Structure formats: structure tokens, C-alpha cells
Amino acid sequence: MQYQAPANDLGFLLFDVLGVDKLHELEKYADATPDLISAVIEEAGKLASEVIQPTNQIGDRQGCQYNPETHEVTTPDGFKEAYAKFVEGGWTALDAPLEYGGQGLPHTLKFVVDEMMCSTNLSLGMYPGLTHGAISALHSHGSDELKDTYLEKLISGEWTGTMCLTEPQCGTDLGMIRTKATPNDDGSYAIEGTKIWITGGEHDLVDNIVHLVLAKLPGAPDTTKGISLFVVPKVLPDTGERNPAFCGGLEHKMGIKGSATCVMNFEGAKGWLVGEPNDGMRAMFTMMNEARLMVGMQGLGLAEMAYQESLDFARERLQSRSLSGKKNPDGPADPIIVHPDVRRMLMRQKVLNEGMRALALFTGQKLDLAVAHPDEAVREASDDIVQLLTPVVKAFLTDEGYNNANIGLQVLGGSGFTTDWPLEQLVRDGRIARIYEGTNGIQAMDLVGRKLGLKGGQLVRTLFGELTGYLKDNPEAPHREELKGAMKALESTTMWIGTNAPKDPEQAGAAATPYLRLMALTVIAYLWSRMAGVAQAQLDKGEGNTPLLEGKLISARFFFEKLLPEIDMLQKDIETGKDSMMAYGDDHWAA
């Protein structure tokens, strides 16, 4: 089936619930009028369905091809042409800074486009996706000379970017990296080392690839405090010479086969320092936080495509009769969408997808306020929520995105397990999103181990202030008591972690994953209450899209009745502590 952009849901969320259409009142986003936002949604939807989606299946079946003699990588048929149209439409520049050729539009709109790209071809979407993170790192930490050299062509899409962190002996523990940077006489550095799992490390979509590489200077501390960041181009911009940064091979992967995941060998390649010596992790986190939000949108995009495919199948597939009597009396059986268990699966997909979209765009809106609002207090509070929710968006949207793709496959039954249908590819592609840019367990540890304690606990207090303020201002809020129950569980578990983790860090490790999930469900409950409130108000006035608004009320009820009760289990999981999972000794595992 052809992808249909969720334009109605996006319009409802952006304009009616979140008020993103008012961002144009801020000087920085003066061009982001409601008409422009609507046009972006419409045109991005057309691009996704007409240009990007047709490349998806062939990309999975052909994959990327590596030439060991030339160290070059060829992308699947159609990728170069689709990428060229993406660049031609200005999509690489959407929220990039104006002074280097960007359009300067809100980050929230970038989230919308990311979802559509990832719904229709995750592999292709990753090439410009990581470039965006490279742009942010260079813009925030690079010298004026580096910015002038690289940003315009990265923003235009003429060049692409990578992030080179992982090495064969280390992933999360980057203090163990061995890549070295030796000063040259001309102010550059000779970069030597091997990086693995480098997305877009080599490909044929553009003529130059700009690598951002973590390496250690001579005499640097042998920890993360000794890491520096360098920009290492494939082709030297001043001379046009080939830099000795070569692809040593492609990874053989379960999914995202159209994405070139490379081993990169830096053989004395010229690089230039980004930021200060030994401050590379801070600069790289600018890039990684962008990437983590983008990966969250990957989970949502795949989940949306899986839902559309499984809904279409359930409406057409005839099997058995409805338990309440024939619904298709002229046919041999009823469509499977009449069966309660199929409805359960479809409703879970739809309601979680719409809740996850609300969570992502809520976070995107806060990101825009954090950089553009004139009131310093609003900027700080918005940034608090963005920092707190970044690991939540990454982990929850990829966990549930994968689960929803898997549920979509189940709706198709045996057909879903075959390559004749697209669900099995969505499942394979979606699995990686829970792993890269920091596994979801690492995201949970980031939330519990870092974010809860930042600024003396201010980040989580800001979130609670947002939720309690909503209930105070809306005494008749839909599903008020269920939301209050979720907030109470989140508050109780936050206090439990605050009390127990300082005495025993393993308690924080044991609680991290269920706590992140509890926070995600609580914030989504808040957003479903808001969506239901707006829907009811519009129905009462006789305004809006009646089926959509009625559907929002039903979906909110489903969320609060069928999905939110998971918080009780999560709270018990957290507050029973680590003992049962840490009690095994070495002799118990093999017994």
C-alpha cells in the first residue's frame, strides 16, 4: 500500500493541542506561520509517499555494495535520485541556521519530516539524518573557520556527515578508545585508528563525507576526560585531495540494509580539532542528543507504517464470522477487523502511536521554546524538560515502535512472516533503533543516573510542575483521577530512587528501565488527557473533524483503561529493589 502521511493527526496535535502554530510569534521563528507549517506537512507527505517509499523494498533486497579494491560503497538503485530530490526540495536545510544557508524553521517541523522519512525508508533517511547532528556539533563547538568551511555544504546536502565513536574494543565505555590524533606542523592532526558501525561512512550519494571523529591527543588522560573531537573530511576542501580515511568493509546486518554501516580506517588522515582539547565528549553529546531524538522518530515512523499496513490488511482479509453475527453477509467470511483480538492489536498500535507522536512533538516544542523564547525562565524550564525527556523519547518510542511493528506482523498472520508483505522488513529494520545511539538500557541509566540529579533535581521538578499546573488549571480534565494516580506513582518511585540509589548504585541500575517506562506512560497520559479535552471542547462547539475527534475520545479511554494500568506493575518492579535479580552467584547460572 502507499503510505499516507498522518496529516489530520499532525494538524490536531500541532495546532489544536500544542499550539505550535503560535511559534511564529517568536522572532526566531517568524516565518513558521500556520500556512507554512501546513504546507510543510503536505509536501513532506508527498515526498515520502511518491519519492522515498518506492526505494524502500529494493534497498532492503539489494543492500549496499562494497568494492574492496577502491574502498567505495554503492547504494541501492534509486537512492541517489531520491536523495537528490530530497536535497533539491531544501529538506536538509529545514531547521538549520540561516547564516549558513538554512531555513531556520522550528525543530518540531524537523521531527515531523523525520517521522515521514523513517516510515517510508529508514535506511535512506539515515544519510541526511546524521548529517544534521554533525551540523549541530560544528555550529555549537567549531571555530569560525571550520563553520565557514563545512556548514554551508552540509546544510545544503551537497556533503553528508558522520559520527565516529565506536571501536572494536569499546562502545558505551568510550574512555577505552585507541584512535590517536598527532599534531601536524600546519595546525592539523594526523588521525590514526579504526572505527566500526559508522552509518554513512562511505557511499555514493555525495562527493564528500565529513567525519566527526573521537580521538586522543598525546598525553591525554586515559578516560573520557581525555577525548577530543576532530573533523576529518573524505576529500580535503582546500586541495581536493583524497584524505586517507577509507571504508574497510560493510557490516552484515539483520536490517537497514540500504544504510551503509562501515568499518572506517583512518590512516594518518588529516583532521582539525573541534572545540577544546580533551573536551570532545561535551561536543559529541550535542550531536548524540540530536541523534537520540531522531532515533526516537525512527521508532515512531516504523510503527506508523506498520499500523497502516496492518489496518489495511485487517479491513480486506476475510476469515471466520464475527462473534456478534455476520458483518459481511454477501461474502464467505467477515474481515478480520471485526474480531476483538485483532481490534486489541490495532487499537494498541493506533493509541500508542498517537501518544508517542504527542510525546515527541511536545518535546520538540519545548526544544524550540528553549532556544527561541524571550523569557529566560521559560527557556530554562523548557530546556529542563528536553534534557529529561530526550532519553525517554529515544527509548520508549523505539521499544514501542518495534513492539507495534511486531504486533502489525501478527495481524497479518502467516502473510506477515513472508517477504511478500512489508511487515517483516519493518520488524527487522526497527530492531536496531533500540540499540544504536546508546542502548535503551543506557538511556534509562542516563535518566536515573544523570538527569534526575541534575541541578539538584530541578529537571524532574519542572516536569511535575507542568503536570500539576495542568490539573490545577483544568479541574474537569478528562481522566483526571487516572492521571493523578500515574503522577503519584512517578513521584513515589522518584523518591524511592532518590532515597535508595545514593546508598546502593545497583538499586538505580535495577530501577532504571521500569522507571523510564513509567515516566513515559505518565507524560503520555498527561498528553492524552489534553487531547481528549480539546476533542471534547471542539465536539461541544460543533467544530472540527468529527470522526477524528470522536476517535480521540475513544482512544483516550482505551489508553487509560487498557495501557496505563501497567504503571502498577512498574511501580512494584522499582520498589521491590534489586535483590531477586542480583542474588544469583556464578554457580547458579549453569545449574
Q: Tell me the pLDDT tens digit for each residue of 260-290.
A: 999 999 999 999 999 999 999 888 888 888 8
Of 290, 304, 400, 437, the active-site residue reads 437
d(CA 220, CA 171): 19
List the Cα angle 172/138/135 in 5-degree steps. 85
Cβ atoms of 10 and 4 within 8 Å: the answer is: no
- Name 187's Cβ contacts closer than 8 Å, sequence gap at least 6: 272
- Name 589's Cβ contacts closer than 8 Å, sequence gap at least 6: none
> In this predicted structure, what is the pLDDT of residue 224?
83
d(CA 364, CA 366): 5
End-to-end CA distance of the chain: 51
Q: Residue 149 has what DSSP assignment?
A: H
H-state helical runs in 232-325? 280-316
> In this predicted structure, what is the pLDDT of residue 284?
82
Residue type for position 425: Q
d(CA 231, CA 162): 10
- Nearest by Cα to 138 from 243, 28, 212, 188: 212
* Furthest CA-CA distance within the chain: 83
CB atoms within 10 A of CB 404: 28
pLDDT (tens digit per residue) in 331-344? 999 999 999 999 99
Tell whether the torsion through CA atoms of 217, 220, 221 and 227 is positive or negative: negative
- Name 152's Cβ contacts closer than 8 Å, sequence gap at least 6: 100, 101
With cell 536496531, the residue in question is 432
Residue 437 bears catalytic tag: yes
Q: What are phi and psi of 329, to 5 degrees?
A: -60, -25
CB atoms within 10 A of CB 169: 11
Residues of the chain with confidence (pLDDT) below 70: 171, 175
pLDDT (tens digit per residue) in 380-430? 999 999 999 999 999 999 999 999 999 999 999 999 999 999 999 999 999
> What are the DSSP E strand ranges found in 179-219?
180-183, 189-199, 208-215
> In this predicted structure, what is the pLDDT of residue 171?
67
With cell 508527498, the residue in question is 46
List the chain domain ranges.
439-581
Cβ atoms of 11 and 38 within 8 Å: the answer is: yes
d(CA 303, CA 433): 12
d(CA 169, CA 176): 7
